[in-house]
Structure 1
């Protein structure tokens, strides 16, 4: 989990997407997150985390519903949402932390 700390302890917002390939809503978010990353460029890091491959982290963060989206900045959780969001809404939310 020390790698996770390094991942989120940066000055730009980090948008994490906790997903599984077995969840249709999670799969639908892939294209939306690609649009968010393209729309914000280097102002944000977008990272997808497969809960099936990262069970310990998912349990530590109490990930229940999928997809779960979390924004960290400087190592601190700023925003969290379970369920889908559209690209424009996500871009607006992330920009609050840029």
Structure 2
């Protein structure tokens, strides 16, 4: 004789099991381990970290690395990029872009490593849409390398410091 099966048992057996939610990737926690050619290793006391939320300068947490990278706008574009005789690396970025924030310390290290041979600038695409449209920037971060006012290379997306350094070295 077959045992009676309750409707609760059937419902429990046929209901799908809850799946664990995938963890979101944290772009802010990534720090490249490889060193740029000619770069000086940072001391353990001088390591770059995001400031605490209660710090008065919390909004400038990513500005520590930007002292070697200039901001460029449409009004200064010709002077800082097109008329420069040295190679110029231009990062097209936006404040809301996680991969862009990932690239800031890499480009700052690159600017320090190639001081005098490479000018590094960054252009906020939200504030300077005309320049971004002129160079057909469709995704950010996009890095353009100029030499003697001429566009030489395009790098789209977040890349490692060694990949970016090898690309830049071809134009120095």
Q: TM-score, normalised by structure 1?
A: 0.91
Query: What's 1:26 paired with?
Result: 100
- Tell me which of the two structures has the higher relative contact order, counting C-alpha pairs closer than 8 angstroms and 6 or more residues apart: 1
Alpha-carbon distance between aligned partners in 1 of 2:94 and 2:137, rounded to the nearest angstrom: 12
Q: 1:94, CA displacement in angstroms?
A: 1.1
5+ residue gaps, structure 1, are none
Aligned length, in residue pairs: 98
For residue 41 of structure 1, give the secondary structure of its aligned residue in structure 2.
Answer: coil
Query: What's 1:68 paired with?
Result: 142
Query: Which structure has more strand as a fraction of its residues?
Result: 1
Query: What's 1:54 paired with?
Result: 128
5+ residue gaps, structure 2, are 1-73
For residue 88 of structure 1, give the secondary structure of its aligned residue in structure 2.
Answer: helix
Query: Which structure has more helix as a fraction of its residues?
Result: 1
Q: 1:29, CA displacement in angstroms?
A: 0.5
For residue 42 of structure 1, give the secondary structure of its aligned residue in structure 2.
Answer: coil
Please report the RMSD computed on the Cα atoms of aligned residues, expressed in angstroms. Answer: 1.3
Alpha-carbon distance between aligned partners in 2 of 1:2 and 1:31, rounded to the nearest angstrom: 25
Larger Cα Rg: Structure 1 or Structure 2? 2
Query: What's 1:16 paired with?
Result: 90
1:6 maps to 2:68:
no
